[in-house]
Amino acid sequence: MKKFKQRWEITQNWQLIYPIVGVIALAYSVYKLVLLFSFDNIEITILLSCILFFILLKLTLTLFKFLEKRWKVDYKWRVVRIFLVFAVTGTTSVIITNPISNAIGLVKVNFADVFLGNAIYYVLKLLLTLPFYKILLVGFGWLFGEFSFFLNFAKKMLYRLGFKRFFN
């Protein structure tokens, strides 16, 4: 346990929650992803889940090194916390915008007969989701203790989308 804490720069026991929740979230996501392929045999589902879990875990740990430097994060466990904020925000923004899009008639069926209907549908869905995502990103960032990081991240994202005049 000492090596693990040292490797992740964990100084207090409560910080262990972030790697633990990160591993559990990755395992659950992999399992749900494998279920999309509807294998009839549970052994195949579990085997593929385990293989995909280890592949994605290796990829995630490689990303940590890169993102820790890019985001200028002082502790490795904070990268897990930032990943968790992104995951919770993405899921919540989709959950919030689904009833709104259904209420205004933004459903995939309505775009079936239109040229490039799927593309138009997904662009409109993204445009509807984006404002909620920005607000939730800063809100969940505050809840997880990363308010300044996500406020700057949201500003940078808006700046890149062409809202420069609001920041001058």
pTM of the model: 0.72
Name the residue ranges covered by the structural domains of the chain: 1-70, 72-168
Please list the ranges in the chain whose pLDDT falls under 70. 166-168
Percent of the chain whose pLDDT exceeds 70: 98
Residue pair 118/108 in contact (Cβ under 8 Å)? The answer is yes
Task: Determine phi and psi for 120, rounding to 5 degrees.
Answer: -65, -45
Residues in the chain: 168
| pLDDT value of residue 168 | 60
Buried b (16+ CB within 10 A) or exposed e, 85-99: bebbbeebbeeebee
Largest CA distance in the chain: 60
Nearest to 153 by CA among 123, 21, 140: 140
Residue pair 147/137 in contact (Cβ under 8 Å)? The answer is no
Q: Is 105 left (phi over 0), alpha (psi -120 to 50) or beta?
A: left
